[in-house]
Homo-oligomer: A and B are copies of this chain.
Amino acid sequence: MQERQALAAFAALSQETRLRILRLLVVAGPEGLAAGLIADQAGVSASNVSFHIKELERAGLVASRRESRSILYSVDFGALNGLVRFLMEDCCAGQIGLCVDAEETVVCDTRMIDQQGGGQTAER
């Protein structure tokens, strides 16, 4: 994932309504959800949903397709995956051993295994 896209994705996720919408869409799965339903479930006005969905689309996190009267929006899971990877790799600038805690979540990428010898845990 390019830095440019990651910046847009972070911006998209930094807004409460958008985060809520994204979660709804994740739960909905590849099938997606109509804008009206999103508005209902998120407790937000339709125009507001439209605005935020557009932002999520611009960030590449959400895709849309028309189905009869409704437009169904769904998460681009590839993009979401890319963002996780960006955060772990690019953003952590190769210090993944420091960034990603090995306690519960053990990440088994070769690059990470190389750095996991120390078994370092993050300091709080």
Contact = CB atoms under 8 A, between A and B. Distances in A.
This chain's copy number in the assembly: 2
A121 to B, nearest CB: 8
Given A7-B19, A14-B14, A84 B87 contact: yes
Interface residues of A, number: 49
Contacts of A91: 13, 19, 22-23, 26, 80
B11 A7 contact: no
A46 interface: no
Interface of A: 3, 6-8, 10-11, 13-16, 19, 22-23, 26-27, 29-30, 75-81, 83-85, 87-88, 91-95, 98-101, 104-109, 112, 121-124
